[in-house]
């Protein structure tokens, strides 16, 4: 199963490379389908027309250029060339994304096809939601008729979401039919830079005839590593909070916190003067302040952020303070699936392609007063943090047997239990018996884990994998009295592969 999981990652990487990832530094990947419903500003949906200039509400980086305004085309995309405001918007295209007309360069194509909202059947709205520095700009195309007499009964609904700080681009397709009677039914999803030299489309979504429903895609760029982010809740709504600088030092130095020096300005950090001596620091600038940490000859920005925790930034129904899983007070360093997005901003905390809002449920209802969150395989890790919900050794993301990026609608044995919650689908009886004879404890673990083997066979090899599929530790010829040191691992969810009796058994544990 591990090899299968890694092969999927390699295949995805090759797809991204072929689509231009190595050239433009963007990647595209499937994400769970999530629909935004928000109060919004309506736009007139004139045929083939750009909107007036619209403020995004924050700075957004697109191909290295910062924008705080854009125009929206009634044909399913946004454009950053503001001189296009209120003029004709190109509807016709018959080439791949990389060869599109110069008139549509510098664009994000949520679902580019010729649309004509006659008689105001559908709606086109936009809004900026959330609070700084994690706001979203949301454009909603709802029930937009296709152009052409024979095609006008076909309605497309989709959404485009731009993220502050992360600069993510999400496309959510609610329903997109195809009608070949006009323009051959061509449509596309993708991004195209200002001079048309770099572009990227999801697999199967470049110019062509295709249909889609309940489908999500994310375009993203690599994160910068030169910043340490520290996010806390604003309990009294004054934008001021106390930050524990000892935590910053410990996480930056990994064992030598006393050697980390923190300053309020870069010039002080460069000169080594006026260092902050106290372990507690209250930000002077409301909501956000940047400090500078000097360690091992380098200067790292320490970005302090005070946020309104009454806002559910990731729409997962979990209170932000409950997403501080390691309990250190910093919301930003809790990232269960290791995707670079902290849990309080991540709508899929365990990276299994099932929205957290669907997994954060309780045996007696959705209220947290009803007990502990649901844990299908009773392994001590609730489903919303567990990337193998049924404990069958197959990652939930790999139980998407119909290949539509949604494990929730796969029910191989038609028992009305999704395969990712049914451990009888993926395991043979022998494997199932073996799995129950192995116990891993403590779980969650902080420094060491022990593995109790109650079977008659010895363990040949133990491999520990991060959520992204990379191997972080390996132990050969394991014996029952042995412990495994996990103290150096980052906090998050890990997969343990145990080889014994010519079989591969898979477990997981949560590192505090």
Instruction: Answer for the pair 31, 13: CB distance below 8 angstroms, yes or no.
Output: no
In the prediction, which pLDDT does 225 show? Answer: 60
Instruction: Answer for the pair 44, 54: CB distance below 8 angstroms, yes or no.
Output: no
Instruction: Answer for the pair 162, 80: CB distance below 8 angstroms, yes or no.
Output: no
- Please report, for the chain, the start and end positions of each structural domain, with discontinuous segments joined by +: 27-220, 227-345, 435-511
Q: Which two tokens stand for residue 308?
A: 């309104």
In the prediction, which pLDDT does 169 show? Answer: 98
Low-confidence ranges of the chain (pLDDT < 70): 1-24, 39, 223-225, 363-370, 426-434, 436, 481
Question: What is the rounded CA–CA span in Å between residue 315 and residue 31?
Answer: 14
Q: How far is residue 450 from each of residues 49, 62, 225, 275, 494, measured CA to CA in Å?
A: 64, 47, 33, 43, 15
Q: How far is residue 410 from each of residues 286, 398, 404, 419, 427, measured CA to CA in Å?
A: 48, 11, 10, 6, 16
In the prediction, which pLDDT does 366 show? Answer: 55
Question: What is the rounded CA–CA span in Å between residue 456 and residue 263?
Answer: 59
Question: What is the rounded CA–CA span in Å between residue 271 and residue 450?
Answer: 48
Instruction: Answer for the pair 161, 172: CB distance below 8 angstroms, yes or no.
Output: yes
Instruction: Answer for the pair 505, 435: CB distance below 8 angstroms, yes or no.
Output: yes
Bridge-based pairing state of the strands 242-244 and 280-282: antiparallel
Bond preceding residue 11 cis, omega within 30 of 0: no
In the prediction, which pLDDT does 430 show? Answer: 54
In the prediction, which pLDDT does 23 show? Answer: 37
Q: Is 87 left (phi over 0), alpha (psi -120 to 50) or beta?
A: beta
What is the value of pTM for the model shown?
A: 0.78
Q: State which fold the 435-511 domain adopts.
A: Immunoglobulin-like (2.60.40)
In the prediction, which pLDDT does 432 show? Answer: 58
In the prediction, which pLDDT does 95 show? Answer: 94
Predicted confidence (pLDDT) per residue in 335-382, tens digit: 999 888 999 999 999 999 999 999 998 866 555 555 789 999 999 999
> 311-341 burial, b for 16+ CB within 10 Å, e for fewer?
eebbbbebebeebbbeebbbbbbbbbbbbeb
Question: What is the rounded CA–CA span in Å between residue 241 and residue 289?
Answer: 11
Radius of gyration, alpha carbons of the chain:
25
In the prediction, which pLDDT does 20 show? Answer: 28
What does the chain come to in residues?
512
Backbone phi, psi, residue 116, to 5°: -150, 100
In the prediction, which pLDDT does 115 show? Answer: 95
Question: What is the rounded CA–CA span in Å between residue 381 and residue 373?
Answer: 9
In the prediction, which pLDDT does 367 show? Answer: 53
Burial of residue 138 (CB within 10 Å: 0-12, 13-18, 19+) is: buried
Predicted confidence (pLDDT) per residue in 244-253, tens digit: 999 999 999 8
Question: What is the rounded CA–CA span in Å between residue 261 and residue 257?
Answer: 9
């Amino acid at each position: 199963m591990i090899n299968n999981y890694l092969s999927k990652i390699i295949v995805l990487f090759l797809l991204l490379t072929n689509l231009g990832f190595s050239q433009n530094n963007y990647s595209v990947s499937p994400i769970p389908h999530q629909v935004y419903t928000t109060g919004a500003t309506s736009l007139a949906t004139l045929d083939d027309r750009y909107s007036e200039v619209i403020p995004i509400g924050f700075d957004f980086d697109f191909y290295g250029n910062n924008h705080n305004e854009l125009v929206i085309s009634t044909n399913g995309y946004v454009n950053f060339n503001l001189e296009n405001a209120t003029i004709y918007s190109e509807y016709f295209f018959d080439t791949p994304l990389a060869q599109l007309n110069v008139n549509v360069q510098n664009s994000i194509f949520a679902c580019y096809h010729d649309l004509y909202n006659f008689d105001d059947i559908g709606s086109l709205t936009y809004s900026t939601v959330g609070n700084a520095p994690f706001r979203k700009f949301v454009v909603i195309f709802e029930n937009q008729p296709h152009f052409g007499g024979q095609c006008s009964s076909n309605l497309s609904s989709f959404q485009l979401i731009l993220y502050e700080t992360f600069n993510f681009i999400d496309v959510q397709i609610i329903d997109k039919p195809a009608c070949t009677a006009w323009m051959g039914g061509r449509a596309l999803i993708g991004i195209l830079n200002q001079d048309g030299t770099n572009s990227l489309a999801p697999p199967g979504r470049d110019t062509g005839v295709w249909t889609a429903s309940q489908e999500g895609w994310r375009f993203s760029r690599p994160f910068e590593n030169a910043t340490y982010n520290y996010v806390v809740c604003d309990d009294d709504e004054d934008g001021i909070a106390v930050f524990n600088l000892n935590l910053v030092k410990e996480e930056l130095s990994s064992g030598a916190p006393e050697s980390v020096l923190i300053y309020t300005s870069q010039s002080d950090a460069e000169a080594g003067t006026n260092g902050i001596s106290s372990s507690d620091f209250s930000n002077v600038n409301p909501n956000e302040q940047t400090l500078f940490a000097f360690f091992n000859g380098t200067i790292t920005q320490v970005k302090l952020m005070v946020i309104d925790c009454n806002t559910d930034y990731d729409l997962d129904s979990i209170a932000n303070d409950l997403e501080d899983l390691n309990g250190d007070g910093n919301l930003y360093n809790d990232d269960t699936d290791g995707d670079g997005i902290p849990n309080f901003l991540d709508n899929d905390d365990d990276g299994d392609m099932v929205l957290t809002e669907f997994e954060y449920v309780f045996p007696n209802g959705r209220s947290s007063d009803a007990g502990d969150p649901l844990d299908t395989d009773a392994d001590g890790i609730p489903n919303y943090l567990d990337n193998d919900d049924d404990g069958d050794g197959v990652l939930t993301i790999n139980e998407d047997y119909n290949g539509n990026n949604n494990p929730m609608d796969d029910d191989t044995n038609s028992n009305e239990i999704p395969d990712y919650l049914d451990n009888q689908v993926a395991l043979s009886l022998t494997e199932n018996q073996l799995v129950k004879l192995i116990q891993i404890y403590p779980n969650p673990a902080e420094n060491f884990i022990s593995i109790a083997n109650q079977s008659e066979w010895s363990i040949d090899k133990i491999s520990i994998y991060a959520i992204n599929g990379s191997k972080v530790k390996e132990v050969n010829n394991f014996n029952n009295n042995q412990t495994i040191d996990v103290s150096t691992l980052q906090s998050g969810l890990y997969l343990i592969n145990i080889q014994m009796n010519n079989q591969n058994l898979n477990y997981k544990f949560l590192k505090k």
